[in-house]
Structure 1
């Protein structure tokens, strides 16, 4: 292609400037001198990179020329989407080349050099991500979602917990290869994949080949339902996240397909075609785990096939994930675990149903995947091994008899059954403890509120101020934040340290992250009285914008999107600083929502230390008030949830409060 000036999209400008896509849109609307589009379309304009960089420089926005940004720019300028599959196939050879200037037909050497630079900085997987972005730009990928790594890991663990150590694994709708890549840890010797998009198929083949160089890897391009690239193949395990809601999947053309052992899938039930396709590729006793929409468990059109799967013992479990676990984020997807029946074994008479939305560690918008995975896998293993009691998780998971599911609806929604299996005595005891805890939280809130004292009105005050940059230059504070480690360095002995994340500060919790052995996060440790400033937004109930590190934070690693301000205590009170940095008029500057998103520009009043400490004490008290109120609100939510569940599931009955007693019979008048 021609050596033209590089063109970039609005999304690439946002990555270059370190701001959101919405910010770039605001710049275009509000600044008449923002560079005009130099190409593209009205819905997807392209901008001259040189002009954009000049504009950013003129407005004080520092452009970050990262290896990934550099590669994206070169791909946009010199590589057509249709050329990307060939580039992906060439990746192993490019990474083995000693010279950074790799020769590629029809492409300048700079493309190969940028690929190698990104691979050295972030690894081959990052290169594949960037290449795939370009390759998919002109493809019809609407409605096809990637599998989040935590869910992929859970799916692999479910296979292993079922007693299967797979030698061969298939993903018939492999996408970018996340599931097969996570399955490499099982030690399988053969990995098979298929995807309708050439870019995804090539990406999967290269990724798995790099991760498991000694294994057999075969990935085909094509629609697995119409053109099965592995006809007749039987494997030990199938892992897949198939497309949802396909209306033209071929129900009429494939009506007599031998794969439909449990019944022809209706036109509106493409997911049941994927379920039976997966079962057809399993050896007897093999296990499949599919990520599916929740409507699969209840649609009227699919009840006959669901019943047939249950009667044959092919469907072993339905596990409902909490909303927000994967795209689409507003619904809770389900994991279906299937096993190909072995004629030599009796047909099981129970299935295992789980509703993860009520597990410990699952909150609105936040999931502790380690807790969830351990709980689900342990209980699922107990069910498969027939260990009494170990398959039950109170209010979340239970074995259910197949005969109890075979009614007119064959509704397999887990919530219908796990709540019916509640331990009434255990729930009542838990509710009593929650009630006591709520009373304690209310007492704490009353105590903190009573200590607020009298607040006096003062006339308007004009303070002299200094920016954080000025205070840092004068030695009053230092600014710290997470930095990526170079490729040649690792966390080493720091692996396992707690990580304080921005979300922990927003929600007022202790460090929840853990530094992994392969983490490339620099190990800058938090010290007592550091000022912690999250660079993300929270909801109205999550109003903590900055706080001071306490004992539980000391020694934790500074997490991503968290800014740490370390003060000189003889000159700057930490709670005074936290109060002003976290004020509503300053918080926008810490989150990068406007052009003036440099937190070092935040202005702090210049007050004597004694006066700072007065303000600092007030800010600390307000922080304690927020945290105490949040704890009380959490206790209310927990107690109300327990009592509501007990009432609706028939495990608890209402108390005899005044006015609720049974009416007494009245004597008639003589």
Structure 2
């Protein structure tokens, strides 16, 4: 008879694989829930065996990630089964003051020994100072019930709870499930194949393939950390692989493996500063291609920035050169944009999965937005969420007929069409782009609606609308990134400041915050006293013509005509340096105004255009890096005309708030047409 210490409500939730509120609901709604046996009123303790017996009456839903795949009529496991497994794992991995890494390694060693000898009996193990007889009994009983491989995976699943030194580097379960599904879909499993992992770590990706069924001909791995190589060796022994090839370095002068059928890599995360360095993430993609045999498939987990970075000011970063080389060699089979929050530790960084083939093996490249697929299946943590979106993504990648039915989620592209120095992100490539005819129709409709809305107003407004003309652009338009203009000094970036709302009042200098740019508060309602502003020496004020930007919630931008305003975070500002010189006494005589290629209202319109607003979609915090926005390069004459149109438009919008919806729609459509290079503007 196994005995366990009492458990708290939080421990019941953890051991049963549910959330803490679920246990509270069980206790409140069911009178037969076991009563407390100790503790305090705020932290009661419950008998573990009584809780397990009560949970035996509650079966797992078949969609739950905890429930195994069973035949349709087979009985489903209960929460009691999961709870008891959790109790055993807790007993097996009890640290008793010892390092958690050593505890887990001892448990895996004992389990691997039983796997090699093909015995998982209750034969007592000689008690040592590092591994007790009781823990060994729990381990052998669990292995006898669910098998050695499943027990090993359950043990390693406790790494995060035990806070092992390598827990934060484990490949997320969602990515493991997706890769396993893709291998099954593309390579029809791993039976009699050679499988290699170039950045194996603790072996999560390899284990996902091995648990998926099938017996590979050989398993190869590379890992630089000695302790993880030992852990990986034990893990593979638990899966009945006694002689895996494990090397310490995958990035040496020569590939560590050749002619592999499936090659994996989830390399250490690299920040975006590595874009200019030779040590960038896409080096791993190149090495995967070097290790692949004919007809093989490679899978590489990459930070999203490695696909987003483009050339800057005529300089091509190393990561872009390698990406273009992979496209030209036709080594990219697919690019999958992974869901947000897919990695529990890299919560602020988004990831993508590359599917690679040997050179010349990919006539087309499939772009798949798995983030949109995952959103359709609910929020992360929902029962069956991982299995649902991973299964649908693998199906779309593997079947052309399904891709044709869902082009907004997954579509094929020719490699030469992707060599245009634009981000290689599926969310951007799959976004629908309106053509010139669409822009002409949209702006005509919105202009007519605005004219009707302004009919009761002064005739000057209606006349201005009637004089506004649009025509298809004849010459192509070139786009320039806002980041290039900032780095070259043509535009200065003004940060927003964190000033407590309690220090704002109704007198002093006006402020621009989120509420002002979203329309919740009128500009000027909130102000800050100059004496209060003096307490924030880093806070600067705007100048006339500065563009005020809210880089989230749809990218909003307005022009501060008067200046003297204070920006509140997350609002930022952009100052056109050349525009400030126009306020000088000799600006007109020098002809500076006629040569301007950037003007405030033109810049604000292009920033808030739909072209740039798409770049905010899918971001974890719904924000976008201003440096990545694109602005069309126009002639000085067209710049002045566009700025004049946008200036008048903003003036009418400000003066006629009751017609706000109609006039804003017109401005949005005009900016969209110009930004996409479909329209040119002039006033008769």
Q: Normalising TM by the smaller chain, what interval?
A: 0.3 to 0.5
TM-score, normalised with respect to structure 2: 0.45
TM-score, normalised with respect to structure 1: 0.46
Q: Work out which of the two has the higher radius of gyration on C-alpha atoms and give 1 or 2.
A: 2
